[in-house]
Amino acid sequence: MNWLIFNQKQSCPTPDELMAGGEYNYRMLFNNTADAIVIADLSTKIIDANPAACRLFGYAKKELLKLSIRHLHPANSIKKTLKVFTQLAKGKGFDKSADLQIITKKGKIKFVSAGFGRIKINSRDCLIAFFRDITEKKESEVLYKTLAEMAHDSIYLVDRGGRITYVNEFGAKQFNAQPIHIVGKSVKDLFPPAVAKRQKANLNKVFRSGQHSYREDLSHFAHGDVWLSTQLTPVRDQSGRISNVMGFSRDITETKKNEITVKNYVSLLDSITNTSSDGILVIDRRGRVSFYNEKFLELWKIPQKLAKTKNDKKLLSYVVSQLTDAKEFLTKVNYLYKHPANKSSDTVYFKDGRVFDRLSLPQKIDGKIVGRVWRFTDVTKDTKIQKSLVKSEQKYRRLFEAAKDGILILNVETGEIEEVNPYLIEMLGYGRDEFLQKKLWEIGLFKDIMASKKSFEILKKKKYVHYDNLPLRTKSGKPISVEFVSNVYNIGRTKVVQCNIRDITARHQTETKLVNSEDRLRAIYENSPIPIVLVGLDNKFISANPAAVKFWGYSEDQLEKLTFADITHPDEVKRDIEKVKLLLKGKISVYSVDKRYIRKDKKIVYGRVNATLIKNNSDKPLYFLTVVEDITQHKIWEREIKQSEERYSILVERSNDAVILIQGGIVKYANPAIEKITGMVPQDVIGKPMVDFIAPQYKSLVASNYKRRMQGERVDTRYEFAVIDKHGKAIPVETNSSVVVLNGQPADMAILRDISKAKEIDRLKSEFVSMSSHQLRTPLTGIKWFGELLLKEKIGKLNQEQRDFVEQIYHSNERMIKLVNDLLDVSHLETGRKFTLNKKPADLRLALSRAIEDQTLTANKKKISMIFGCGLNGKIICVFDFDKIVQMLNNLISNAIKYSPDKAKITFDCQRQGDYWSIAVTDQGYGIPQYQQHRIFERFFRADNIRGVAPEGTGLGLYIARGIVEAHGGRIWFDSKENKGTTFYFTLPVK
Ligand code: ADP
């Protein structure tokens, strides 16, 4: 329970409110209130300040009294305060409250909510100012606001009426507007009807269910259609009602576009495989056909029906009969299936004379082998030419001379060059003599493949060697690429080795370009919003799409002069080069990494990189295909979120209040401040059940509040209970709990504040009040007694003037006695001693009549009539303390009179409700404003509307009335409408 009435309120009390309790309360409150109070004269000089003000500003009272109000505010707030002074000095009305900044003795700036009032001291007009420290609230407000304003997503709040109550800059920009133009508008005003209807429905769903919602929709804006991902979250006000829905929308148009691009790629791949002149077959690791193209069926003459069985064994047994050497073919195939990582190529001969090249590779996904790919190329024509060459010496000679390939004939035994054709001489620039009678490895030309006699032996054994892309230098030093094919065969009786050397420099160049010139691929590449580059094996850029140019800020030409390492953040170059090596070695098939690049303007940007090595048909590496997703914004967000988390965790770690997180009834986190309350360090409590630390009499209350809150029920978030400290002592605390998310699950975050000191002060104060009231009663009774003697003229006659004065003394004294009695009752309730009741069965109507009798005089003065309802016809017997109930009824009736205009009616009625009698007192008075009804039973509380009409009053009557009714086991409540009237009800048990 709190003595300090302001603690219950959101804003500072008005001076009227404070003064309502009279000078006595004023002093007490002045000294004990948690709000800072400063009084200054009109020259702004401080003439009084309470202890809370000394604490807030950090000055001793003596020091404060030497200062002016000007010293207490920083420059930006002083104007507001000075304005109040000038208004006051001119006798004008003035601003009653404001949010301000103050500056403490140590120079610290704090945020306060301030309330101002006029007060007369020694008949001088003075200003009384109340300050409440709202620094923490302000700081986190500013923090949240800044975060929202910096966001590159739209963030907005929508109320139940579908109106925008907040939108950040980014969100407003979607409508080409500033936030102030959007706030207040309704969803209807902002979107076309169909979209608005859908959005209203989504919002309503969140309002109804209290659940988050997530969706992806196409929305229409002034600047075009945008795909938005939208997360809607309910926002609750202090009473727990969902007042707004917070929306968080992100533009995912790019992502959606990418989805479409990927689909295009897939369809492109499909059409490429189906128009290919090669037969392609893919078998998974369980021997099932996972893919084949039409050409494959055509080449092997496989009926569709059989293909559809997807059974590789069936296919094999169907096709082998077509081959000249079925057994050899099957052996090789089976070998390859047993060795899934092997690559192999071979030639397959058919009984009908056809010849196929066969290539077989493992199929990999993310470096894992998932099957095997077979590729068959019909090379019958080429083979026929070769055969005819062998057939005719003449033909051979002619071809040899005229061939547009370089040809070398080697002696199979010695490896010496026996023939070289003119084309090769021309191609390499060496003379005929420089070739003849030399061994192939001696001329040093082919050092990559034929370094020694040993490699020649291998060639002989293999009978066939094929190098697709061999770099050579001509005699003049010009670099060229050649295709090198070597075959061993018989001419007549002698075996020869023929090496065909073809200059493919031009082809090689076009091969690289081939990729670029493919129209459709080019279109995709050019239009992709994602940076794509081709990087050569020397790490230099070969090509970059427009998105890449935009991303790095270099033109394509500039990029082509750079290697990827040149634009990579220095810390990451080494790592990337290692990975590129692994790619080249085939140890990994894709290199995926989040990395930093340095743009041309030296800014650091983040990319999510996927690099793959692209090879040609013969498995020779050509270049790297690198796709880079710009994730700079993600990284910035990641960092900001981390920073704000850090900031919050510092706030929590340094908080003076204990903060604990509870999940599944277990304490998951506690900040260091827990030690101040319990003497236990966080490690002592973390991991233990929460109830272990709660005083026995509160265990069930706290556990049930916790459980209900976790189930989503609305439970009072602020209440008091006691925790147990290290020594088992109960420490009273005030808690403020809220539900948060911890590791994806709801958890309870409780902030605990030690209120033992406050409790102790409360107790001392109540005792003081009780004692001083007792002391006051004796002299007051004395005055009453002498007053009566004088008025009854027992001492002597009074003239009219004397009688008037004595009557005034007598009535003031009566009021004083009532106040002292009320204070005594309050201190009884405060100290928890309750009332000692003298309960007896009696007729409640008698108590009512007595109270009405007491009030008749006052009622008559205002010509107010009192009427009994028919519920009061019979006897109303219940068990109660007659005097106390009369006192309580007196209060209800005097209120009804006091707060009604002249000539109004007051009605009484009674009803039996089960084991209770319920009494109603109805008036036609000023009523109680809706917004203050919840505070009516608080001590010293008086509603705003009656202050003018009935300035006298303590605000204690109803507080005591409730104490009396509850001590009887009954209940008291009311219904009221402003300017219509009020009915107070109370119940008393029959027995
Ligand atoms: P007091 O009457 O001394 O101010 P009470 O505790 O009896 O104190 O009442 C508290 C407040 O409740 C009053 O100040 C008034 O604002 C409101 N109130 C009580 N009874 C009535 C009534 N019958 N009609 C209108 N307001 C009432």
Amino acid at the residue 69:
I
pLDDT for 800: 92
- The best mutation among 822, 934, 942 to test binding of ligand 1, ranked by most ligand atoms within 8 Å of the C-beta, falls on 942
Instruction: Assess whether pLDDT exceeds 70 at residue 14.
Output: no
CA of 892 to the centre of ligand 1 (A): 8
Amino acid at the residue 904:
A
- The best mutation among 945, 946, 982 to test binding of ligand 1, ranked by most ligand atoms within 8 Å of the C-beta, falls on 946
**Integer CA distances (angstroms), 808 to 812, 815, 902, in order:** 6, 11, 23
- Per the DSSP assignment, residues forming a β-bridge with 566 are none
C-alpha 970: how far from chain center: 48
Beta-sheet pairing, 905-913 with 865-868: parallel
User: 889 falls in which pLDDT band (50, 70, 90)?
Assistant: very high
Measured CA to CA, the distance from residue 818 to residue 814 in angstroms comes to 6
State which ligand 1 atom lies nearest to the alpha carbon of 936.
12
Residue tagged 């030497």 (tokens): 66
CA of 950 to the centre of ligand 1 (A): 10
Using CB atoms within 10 Å of the CB of residue 723, give its burial: 0 to 12 exposed, 13 to 18 middle, 19+ buried: buried
- The best mutation among 17, 895, 934 to test binding of ligand 1, ranked by most ligand atoms within 8 Å of the C-beta, falls on 895
CA of 895 to the centre of ligand 1 (A): 6
pLDDT for 483: 82
CA of 908 to the centre of ligand 1 (A): 18
Q: Which residues contact 371 (CB under 8 A, 6 or more apart)?
A: 282, 283, 284, 285, 290, 362, 363
State which ligand 1 atom lies nearest to the alpha carbon of 925.
24
Instruction: Assess whether pLDDT exceeds 90 at residue 492.
Output: no
pLDDT for 922: 97
Task: Identify the helix (H) or strand (E) that includes residue 608.
Answer: strand 604-615
Residue tagged 């009834």 (tokens): 665
| Per-residue pLDDT reduced to its tens digit, 780-792 | 888 999 999 999 9
Instruction: Assess whether pLDDT exceeds 80 at residue 902.
Output: yes
Please state the rounded mean pLDDT for residues 143-164: 78
Measured CA to CA, the distance from residue 610 to residue 95 in angstroms comes to 64
Phi/psi of residue 457, nearest 5 degrees: -60, -40
pLDDT for 702: 87
The pairs formed by 749-752 with CB atoms below 8 angstroms and a separation of 24 or more are 749/659, 749/660, 749/661, 749/662, 750/659, 750/660, 750/661, 750/662, 751/655, 751/657, 751/658, 751/659, 752/657, 752/658, 752/659, 752/660, 752/674, 752/677, 752/723
CA of 955 to the centre of ligand 1 (A): 7
Residue nearest to atom 21 of ligand 1 (CA): 895
CA of 9 to the centre of ligand 1 (A): 18
State which ligand 1 atom lies nearest to the alpha carbon of 981.
24
Beta-sheet pairing, 368-378 with 355-365: antiparallel
Residue nearest to atom 4 of ligand 1 (CA): 955
pLDDT for 473: 78
Residue nearest to atom 8 of ligand 1 (CA): 955
Measured CA to CA, the distance from residue 946 to residue 899 in angstroms comes to 7
CA of 943 to the centre of ligand 1 (A): 7
Residue nearest to atom 11 of ligand 1 (CA): 942
CA of 977 to the centre of ligand 1 (A): 13
CB 737 within 8 A of CB 717: yes
State which ligand 1 atom lies nearest to the alpha carbon of 946.
16
- Per the DSSP assignment, residues forming a β-bridge with 482 are 470, 503
| Per-residue pLDDT reduced to its tens digit, 331-357 | 989 899 899 888 888 888 898 888 888
Where does ligand 1 bind, in terms of residues with CB under 6 Å?
A: 891, 895-896, 899, 923, 925-928, 936, 941-943, 946, 953-959, 982
Please state the rounded mean pLDDT for residues 176-205: 86
Instruction: Assess whether pLDDT exceeds 60 at residue 15.
Output: no
CA of 331 to the centre of ligand 1 (A): 105
Lowest mean pLDDT across 12-26, 163-177, 250-264, 856-870: 12-26
Residue nearest to atom 14 of ligand 1 (CA): 942
CB 67 within 8 A of CB 46: yes
| Per-residue pLDDT reduced to its tens digit, 840-859 | 999 999 999 999 999 999 99
- Per the DSSP assignment, residues forming a β-bridge with 225 are 220
CA of 934 to the centre of ligand 1 (A): 13
Residue nearest to atom 25 of ligand 1 (CA): 927
pLDDT for 574: 93
Count of helices and strands (H, E) across the chain:
35, 37
- The best mutation among 899, 933, 982 to test binding of ligand 1, ranked by most ligand atoms within 8 Å of the C-beta, falls on 899
Percent of the chain residues topping a pLDDT of 70: 89
CB 415 within 8 A of CB 439: yes
- The best mutation among 936, 939, 949 to test binding of ligand 1, ranked by most ligand atoms within 8 Å of the C-beta, falls on 936
Lowest mean pLDDT across 373-387, 681-695, 748-762: 373-387
Measured CA to CA, the distance from residue 523 to residue 517 in angstroms comes to 10
